[in-house]
Amino acid sequence: MYAIVFDLDVSMLEQMYPNPSWRNAYRDVGDILNKCGFERQQGSTFFGNENISAVDCVLAVQELNRTYSWFSPAVSDIRMLRIEENNDLSPALR
């Protein structure tokens, strides 16, 4: 399983994001990633479905860059992760 995780620079979003609230940028990114086969796990972490490959991760990021002129300048960090296991640790807290 692959994931895309990213951080956006808020000051850059405040300057470049075309809508009144820069917070909507995260929703916009999520909409594109959902169309590309990813689901929000939490925050700005998106897990790909079982059919997603490393190439699909790159293509999804390129689609974000093509779609939103503000995306590339606002990204402070973006990574592709390969996840071997996805285990819920919530029971360990009980």
Per-residue model confidence as pLDDT tens for the chain (94 residues) = 999 999 999 999 999 999 889 999 999 999 999 999 999 999 999 999 999 999 999 999 999 999 999 999 999 999 999 999 888 889 999 9
- In this structure, what DSSP letter does residue 59 have? H
Complete DSSP assignment for 1-45? -EEEEEEE-HHHHHHH-SSS-TTHHHHHHHHHHHHTTEEEEETTE
Q: What domains can you pick out in the chain, each with its CATH number?
A: 2-84 (3.30.70.240)
Residues 67, 64: Cα–Cα separation, whole Å = 5
pLDDT of residue 89: 86
Quote the pLDDT of residue 20. 86
pLDDT attached to residue 85: 85
Q: Read off the amino acid at residue 27.
A: R
